[in-house]
């Protein structure tokens, strides 16, 4: 994304980068790899160290320490968003398989003990059936310890109907929303606050993780109410310029500027504008 936006120098920060990470960085056109993660990696990128000059933009997801560090350096370097810990909200009705719901919640939960897996459902039977599936699937899950910790951050919201469910989803403004509903296509346009939306039972969030298309650096902690995911626009700026070649022709503009300056009690502003007519 950064290369497509025309960024001249790109560094990748990754703790103990393995061969796959190094290969991916090379394919993506990175200029270097910082073998560090966490808050100290963010500090290095913001302030510079060794061959790394202070970066203008720092992007990417991380745990709560990475997110906090990005907030702290946000006045020195531009940051993309608050991206982490990760969140998934599954909005389901009676057509949704408890086994599928549980599998998707666990896929999110194994990211990080601070991850937030949530279920909003119109079906009261999901409370017990999904819980039973979670217990069963955790039995042979290698990351069960992390997943169990994350499940404690989540929960189930039982709603009286689709309208109430839509309101609950928008109030939470989560990073990812899955719609496992019979009316998923109708509900999708009514949601306004989410990082990425996965419509229908076949549209697993994990497919977005691994390359189905939607960007996967996304806002968390409710910040999807005010911003979207990473894109080329993250690396671009709006810059404006002004050129007036004939001050006399611009007299109405000059007179307006002088009037506004005096209205605000800024006499020097008014005189600066009027000097163009001397």
Contact status, residue 16 vs residue 45, Cβ threshold 8 Å: no
Tell me, yes or no, if 176 is annotated catalytic: yes
Determine which one of 87, 110, 175, 178 is catalytic: 175
**What gap in Å lies between CA 106 and CA 72, rounded to an integer?**
31
**What gap in Å lies between CA 119 and CA 156, rounded to an integer?**
5
**What gap in Å lies between CA 23 and CA 28, rounded to an integer?**
9
With 0-12 / 13-18 / 19 or more C-beta atoms within 10 angstroms meaning exposed / middle / buried, residue 192 is exposed
**What gap in Å lies between CA 78 and CA 58, rounded to an integer?**
6
**What gap in Å lies between CA 211 and CA 26, rounded to an integer?**
18
State the angle between helix axes of 98-109 and 126-138 in degrees (0 to 180), rounded to the nearest 10: 50
Q: Residue 103 is encoded by which pair of tokens?
A: 């599998």
Tell me, yes or no, if 269 is annotated catalytic: no
With 0-12 / 13-18 / 19 or more C-beta atoms within 10 angstroms meaning exposed / middle / buried, residue 238 is exposed
Helix (H) or strand (E) holding 171: helix 162-172
Three-class secondary structure of residue 147 per DSSP = helix
**What gap in Å lies between CA 165 and CA 91, rounded to an integer?**
7
Determine which one of 126, 176, 178, 205 is catalytic: 176
Active site residues: 175-176
């Amino acid at each position: 994304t950064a290369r497509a936006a025309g960024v001249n120098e790109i560094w990748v920060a990754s703790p103990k980068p393995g061969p796959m990470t190094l290969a991916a960085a090379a394919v993506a056109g990175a200029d270097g790899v910082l073998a560090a993660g966490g808050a100290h990696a963010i500090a290095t990128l913001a302030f510079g160290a060794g061959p790394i000059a202070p970066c203008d933009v720092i992007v990417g997801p991380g745990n709560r320490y990475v997110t906090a560090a990005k907030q702290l350096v946000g006045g020195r370097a531009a940051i993309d968003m608050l991206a982490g810990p990760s969140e998934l909200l599954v909005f389901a009705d009676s057509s949704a398989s408890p086994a599928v719901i549980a599998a998707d919640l666990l896929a999110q939960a194994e990211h990080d003990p601070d991850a937030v897996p949530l279920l909003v459902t119109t079906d009261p039977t999901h409370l017990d059936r999904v819980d039973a599936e979670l217990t069963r699937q955790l039995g042979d899950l290698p990351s069960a310890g992390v997943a169990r910790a994350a499940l404690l951050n989540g929960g189930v919201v039982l709603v009286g109907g689709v309208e109430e469910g839509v309101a609950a989803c928008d109030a939470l403004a989560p990073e990812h929303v899955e719609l496992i509903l019979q009316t998923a296509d109708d509900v999708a346009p009514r949601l306004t606050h989410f990082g990425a939306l996965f419509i229908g039972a076949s549209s697993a969030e994990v497919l977005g993780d691994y390359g189905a298309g939607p960007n996967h650096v996304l806002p968390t902690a409710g910040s999807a109410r005010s911003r979207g995911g990473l894109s080329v626009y993250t690396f671009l700026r709006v810059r404006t310029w002004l050129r007036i070649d004939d001050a006399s022709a611009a007299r109405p503009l000059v007179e307006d500027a002088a009037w506004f300056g005096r209205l605000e009690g800024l006499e020097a502003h008014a005189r600066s504008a009027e000097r163009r007519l001397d």
